[in-house]
Chain A
């Protein structure tokens, strides 16, 4: 009897050993939906990272950046997430306050953002400018500033996203705050008659724009690049505004309770490497945080000069958010 038990125990141990030898360590990365889709960077990033890490990279997707943060907040310290990828500077203050994230310990060199970066928790991996996108065959008199947009005939319509449920929507709020400060209520009141509708997310707005419902849609300067490169369609363009353009910087961070902290560190480092950064432009349709050696593909040139980049610090953005949402609500509810 004892012998059988011992044998069974030995067998079990052998099996366990075999299993762990075969099973590679897992790195869990939580990110937004479009990152992991077949057209997003996810599949390519997974192959490239697994080639160097001897590990299994697993993506878990949850809606957009705000949903990803809500997800790790729900899971708390018990989360199996090692890395969260896909927050932006409008979310990082709340993320930092949650206490769930650990310092990255990197000193990123060679960043090609149009702004300085010294955040101890969050590492940037790509960035973009918010912009109003239009169809060159339909819109002839393109507004070149918010004031020109306000002064345009009332049948010039724009579609924007709700700042309470969408990243670009919140970006526009910050854009107007950064460009106009105290004049923001006046700008919103002027824009109100031009706003055809406010959608819950980017997809609805962009879909409606492509159907021809509105003249301009709030999106990114890189949206026309998508149409040029992926569809050979040169009829979409971004309206360049004199006030400058608000930036979105997308970041990743390591969880303080990461089950595989070493792999998480390795991943954050890898994120700034040539292999990762060269995947970003034509899959995530954003500008890389570190310019790849080959530069940007044709059709990806940014129409905005770096001195026109607008950005509020994460703390500023967090501090004015509620007030800015109220301003927006008041102006658009009249």
Chain B
């Protein structure tokens, strides 16, 4: 008991002190997502009522998100399995490229998708040539197509990480026991999937719930409207802050229910720690398995990379049209992307450290902290931006802070993805090396540097890279704050399109894609540079 009392009194040598940054990060996130909502609601004298159209938006939001998430996750399983169990030239490059759609700016991706799957797309041309009808993807199917395009790469990445978390020794043992593929599935792969899939599903469901532009552009009509669109409308066209706040709360509600369900469904899988040997698979060398794996990889690569190729071609054609304003915009975007990525990493490390440390010690606090880390995925960027604006405007000129605020909000938005890979990595370190480090009396910085960092470095590199790429491509809240002199690349792209400069806009889109991928690749590679093989 005395020991307890001492911990509560914040003894800096106690393990609790190490969790303080985590709690601070959590407090900051609550302020950013719920505090801004409260500011908006207060400026509106309370919440506004929702009408039939808003409820229809809620219904469509949920149904399209469910279908999109199911398709993305189900398709991702064989893709991730093929990537996990096959070695071939260009595998790394393929993994990076397959991740590209997820970090594409929405408008670039939509135009790329249409160039392939649209009415005037190359696939339609091919179908007409073969004597069939042109494709018409507009409507529910268009929204789902776009969401699968965006989220299949993420689902693949998350599930692939699950596969890679199974130590090589297990597969070796399975081979020694002459396990057939069915048995490997049952004893190794299924428990892993059981642990990973609900979280992956929930993440993608949440992303589809909060999606904005895609739903409208390929939706075919006002039926395809999401809650985020309704928030936008309430704010921009009616200037009804109360209604915007109510809708944002509804969005939080949907996301909270989804997250809770995922949390209940997820069954933790513990494979223990291996010696980080190279995985060799003896159970899947049959010819039909190899053919199947390469067919599915080829199909998915074609589905995802064809639009990307179109973006590249059209962007390259537009390069001569690039305006001089692109250079400062590149500079600003890089600044925002790297700044927000480092901020994401700091927040994610603080939270992951606290969550992993509290697991087993105080599971409720650990769960709460983790949930707070995912809050921003359910938040409406529109409401966060407006709340920040209302909060800051009496104090400082929000325009002067446009870029730091954009970096900050983008960091919060990317945090859930960083946590998805950092928390499991951190948990494994605590579980496998925590006692050893304790017995050696390692704590604080030394413990972090010698025990934790080398083991979470790949996850940290991946998270930082993802955050940088996401921040690069996201229009974010900069549109609410920026003036003529502080445009980032995505904003410049929109401004070009708004001025009939479609060719130049395509070129900016290509630069965005290239820079996002380069940032992601750089950080991800930096993380793996010293990874043990």
Which residues of A line the B interface, CB within 8 A? Answer: 33-34, 36-40, 42, 58-63, 66-67, 69-71, 73-75, 78, 80, 94, 157, 162, 164-165, 192, 195-204, 206-208, 210-214, 223, 226, 230, 285, 326, 328-329, 332-333
Other-chain residue from B107, B216, B239, B501 in contact with A70 (beta carbon distance below 8 A): B239
Other-chain residue from A40, A66, A75, A162 in contact with B393 (beta carbon distance below 8 A): A75
Given contacts A34-B495, A34-B499, A66-B237, contact A200 B118 (CB under 8 A): no
Given contacts A75-B393, A164-B233, A197-B220, contact A42 B500 (CB under 8 A): no
- A37 x B499 contact (CB < 8 A): yes
Other-chain residue from B221, B236, B497 in contact with A67 (beta carbon distance below 8 A): B236
Binary CB contact string for chain B from 228 to 255 against chain A (1 if under 8 A, 0 otherwise): 0100110111010000000000000000
Binary CB contact string for chain B from 488 to 527 against chain A (1 if under 8 A, 0 otherwise): 0001001111111110010000000000000000000000
Given contacts A70-B235, A164-B233, A165-B237, contact A198 B111 (CB under 8 A): no
**B: number of interface residues (CB 8 Å):** 56
- B484 x A39 contact (CB < 8 A): no
Contacts of A78 in B (CB 8 A): 393-394
Asked if B170 is an interface residue, CB under 8 A from chain A, the answer is no
**Min CB–CB distance A207 → chain B (angstroms):** 6
**Min CB–CB distance B273 → chain A (angstroms):** 49
Chain A CB within 10 A, most for which of B56, B110, B233: B233
Asked if B38 is an interface residue, CB under 8 A from chain A, the answer is no
Given contacts A37-B499, A208-B114, A211-B111, contact A198 B120 (CB under 8 A): no
Other-chain residue from A37, A70, A326 in contact with B236 (beta carbon distance below 8 A): A70
Contacts of B239 in A (CB 8 A): 69-70, 73, 94
Asked if B447 is an interface residue, CB under 8 A from chain A, the answer is no
Asked if B138 is an interface residue, CB under 8 A from chain A, the answer is yes
Which residues of B line the A interface, CB within 8 A? Answer: 53, 56, 107, 110-111, 114-115, 118-120, 136, 138, 142, 212-213, 216-223, 229, 232-233, 235-237, 239, 323-325, 386, 389-390, 393-394, 397, 399, 479-480, 482-484, 491, 494-502, 505
6 A-B pairs within 8 Å (CB atoms) are namely A59-B484, A63-B236, A67-B479, A164-B233, A165-B236, A165-B237
Other-chain residue from B218, B223, B482, B505 in contact with A332 (beta carbon distance below 8 A): B223
Other-chain residue from A33, A210, A212 in contact with B495 (beta carbon distance below 8 A): A33
**Min CB–CB distance B358 → chain A (angstroms):** 40
In the bound assembly, the distance between CA atoms of A196 and B482 in angstroms comes to 33
- A196 x B393 contact (CB < 8 A): no
- B221 x A197 contact (CB < 8 A): yes
Given contacts A40-B499, A74-B390, A211-B111, contact A332 B221 (CB under 8 A): yes
Other-chain residue from A63, A74, A75, A285 in contact with B479 (beta carbon distance below 8 A): A63
Other-chain residue from A42, A67, A213, A333 in contact with B118 (beta carbon distance below 8 A): A213
- B499 x A204 contact (CB < 8 A): no
Contacts of B484 in A (CB 8 A): 36-37, 42, 59-61
Q: List 5 other contacts, CB 8 Å, given A38-B325, A62-B480.
A: A33-B498, A36-B484, A196-B220, A206-B497, A207-B107
- A211 x B120 contact (CB < 8 A): yes
Contacts of B216 in A (CB 8 A): 162, 165, 198-200
In the bound assembly, the distance between CA atoms of A278 and B505 in angstroms comes to 27
Chain B CB within 10 A, most for which of A59, A70, A73: A70
**Min CB–CB distance B172 → chain A (angstroms):** 53
In the bound assembly, the distance between CA atoms of A63 and B477 in angstroms comes to 12
Contacts of B323 in A (CB 8 A): 38
In the bound assembly, the distance between CA atoms of A325 and B233 in angstroms comes to 12
Contacts of A75 in B (CB 8 A): 393
Other-chain residue from A39, A71, A211, A329 in contact with B114 (beta carbon distance below 8 A): A211
- B120 x A213 contact (CB < 8 A): yes
- B483 x A60 contact (CB < 8 A): yes
**Min CB–CB distance A282 → chain B (angstroms):** 11
Nearest CB in chain A to that of B506: its residue: A207
Contacts of B496 in A (CB 8 A): 37
**Min CB–CB distance B105 → chain A (angstroms):** 12
**Min CB–CB distance A320 → chain B (angstroms):** 14
Other-chain residue from A37, A226, A230 in contact with B498 (beta carbon distance below 8 A): A37
Contacts of B107 in A (CB 8 A): 203-204, 207
- A203 x B494 contact (CB < 8 A): yes
- B222 x A332 contact (CB < 8 A): yes
The 9 closest A-B pairs by CB, nearest first: A212-B120, A203-B497, A36-B484, A34-B498, A164-B233, A39-B499, A60-B483, A332-B221, A200-B216
- A198 x B219 contact (CB < 8 A): yes
Contacts of A197 in B (CB 8 A): 138, 142, 217-221
**Min CB–CB distance A84 → chain B (angstroms):** 14
Given contacts A74-B390, A78-B394, A196-B220, contact A210 B502 (CB under 8 A): yes
Nearest CB in chain A to that of B110: its residue: A204
Contacts of A211 in B (CB 8 A): 111, 114-115, 118, 120
